[in-house]
Amino acid sequence: MANPQRGEIDAEIGGETKTLCLTLGALAELEARLQTGDLNGLVERFAEGRVSARDLTAILGAGLRGAGNAVTDDDLARLSIEGGLTGAARICVRLLEATFGAAQ
């Protein structure tokens, strides 16, 4: 079960409820994978609102691994996500809000 105080969320992925968390290690992984350089670059990229399916996979994968789930991005790409692409985007928004706070 997710602990919101630690920035964790729960989401339905692959027919199971999974916990996701963007730990410092997961954020570092995202910086490198998305080539943003630093946390400010990462925040700016997400704030633009233009994300690819590859970005969604990277965010979800990093969040799953940050919470201790042993899953690769290739594994994740083959799993069903409740709500399809829209559902994946909503999970990413929830995860980013849990990590960085909701946009005001």
- Residue-level pLDDT at 51: 86
**Per-residue pLDDT tens over the stretch 17-39:** 999 999 999 999 999 999 998 98
> Which pTM was predicted?
0.90
Model pLDDT, residue 103:
60
pLDDT recorded at residue 41: 87
Phi and psi at 25, nearest 5°, equal -65, -40
pLDDT one-digit tens code per residue, 43-81: 888 888 788 899 999 999 999 999 999 999 999 999 999
